[in-house]
């Protein structure tokens, strides 16, 4: 069992019978009164972020989780199938456990977080950025080649729709931020 002195970012704890990960923490030692630790906790299953203050020395129940590298194989009626890149074992998980599933395509590498005690997958994360090809967008207007203040809809190869600058055309490869589905840059080939 750990204490508040062991708290670090990314640590997974059991709090109110829920698995939470620590996003942010701050040790505070006021001039008057006992020290305490302010934390932001993210619920692993729901994604909800809460703030909680622990008194200094409070015992917390640390939970062991492992991040494993997997490759996305295919999707069927049983869910999304992934292959472990080390031992080639396959697992399938539901769509609700995958962060930003609209940007997932066959062959992509993902990181699956697994509860180490009972070997159950908690969630899957894509890499921070992905490169996709635009399959359809309205043609760009001459003269709007350097302005990024105006955006238009574009459909990418997975079928998802994102907002891109006016100078992007069908067939262009673009880099996308997976945390918020935003356009980052055009990729030169």
Q: CATH number of the domain that 172 lies in?
A: 2.40.50.140
As given in the structure block, the two tokens for residue 182 are: 């935003």
105 and 151 together in one domain: no
The single-letter DSSP state of residue 1 is -
Place of tokens 């980052």: 184
- Taken as a whole, the chain contains a residue count of 189
Over range 7-29, report the average pLDDT. Answer: 90
Residue 145 pLDDT > 60, yes or no?
no
Q: Is the same domain home to 25 and 76?
A: no
Residues 110 and 143 in one domain: no
**Which of 11, 35, 62 is the C-terminal boundary of a domain?**
62
3-state secondary structure 55-99: ECCCEEEECCEEEEEEEEEEEECCEEEEEECCCCCEEEECHHHEC
Q: At residue 181, does pLDDT exceed 80?
A: yes
Q: Are residues 82 and 49 in the same domain?
A: no
Quickly state the pLDDT bin for 151 (edges 50, 70, 90).
confident
- Supply the pLDDT for residue 65: 87
Q: Are strands 59-62 and 2-3 parallel, antiparallel or unpaired?
A: antiparallel
CA–CA distance from 29 to each of 9, 166, 178 (Å)?
A: 19, 52, 37
Same domain, 157 and 169: yes
**Average pLDDT for 122-132:** 90
- 69 with 58, same domain: the answer is no
Q: How confident is the model at residue 143 (pLDDT cuts 50, 70, 90)?
A: low
Nearest one of 186, 103, 189, 177 to 140, comparing CA atoms: 186
Residue 120's pLDDT band (boundaries 50, 70, 90)?
Answer: confident
Q: How many domains are there within the chain?
A: 3
C-alpha distance from residue 145 to each of 17, 24, 123, 139 (Å): 53, 40, 40, 11
> Cα(135)–Cα(125) distance, rounded to whole angstroms?
24
Separation between Cα atoms, residue 92 and residue 138, nearest integer Å: 37
Helix (H, G, I), strand (E, B) or coil at 16: coil
Shortest CA distance to 134 belongs to which of 92, 90, 184, 168?
168
pLDDT score for 123: 85
Please report the pLDDT score of residue 75 as a whole number: 92
What is the domain range of residue 177? 130-186
134 and 172 both lie in a single domain? yes
Cα(first)–Cα(last) distance of the chain, in Å?
51
Nearest to 135 by CA among 169, 175, 185, 106: 169
Q: How confident is the model at residue 149 (pLDDT cuts 50, 70, 90)?
A: low
Residue 148 has pLDDT above 80, yes or no: no
In the predicted model, is pLDDT for residue 6 greater than 80?
yes
Over residues 103-115, the mean pLDDT reads: 91
């Amino acid at each position: 069992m750990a204490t508040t002195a062991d708290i670090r970012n990314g640590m997974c704890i059991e709090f109110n019978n829920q698995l939470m990960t620590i996003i942010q923490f701050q040790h505070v030692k006021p001039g008057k009164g006992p020290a305490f630790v302010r934390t932001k906790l993210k619920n692993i299953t729901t994604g909800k972020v809460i703030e909680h203050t622990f008194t200094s020395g409070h015992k917390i129940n640390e939970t062991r989780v492992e991040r494993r590298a997997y490759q996305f194989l295919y999707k069927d009626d049983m869910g999304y199938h992934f292959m472990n890149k080390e031992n080639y074992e396959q697992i399938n998980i539901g769509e609700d456990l995958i962060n930003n599933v609209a940007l997932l395509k066959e062959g992509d590498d993902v990181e699956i977080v697994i509860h180490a005690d009972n070997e159950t997958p908690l969630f899957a994360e894509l890499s921070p950025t992905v490169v996709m090809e635009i399959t359809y967008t309205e043609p760009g207007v001459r003269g709007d080649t350097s302005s990024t203040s105006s955006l238009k809809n574009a459909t990418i190869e997975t079928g998802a729709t994102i907002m891109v600058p006016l100078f992007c055309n069908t067939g262009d490869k673009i880099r996308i931020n997976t945390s918020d589905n935003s356009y980052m840059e055009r990729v030169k080939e």
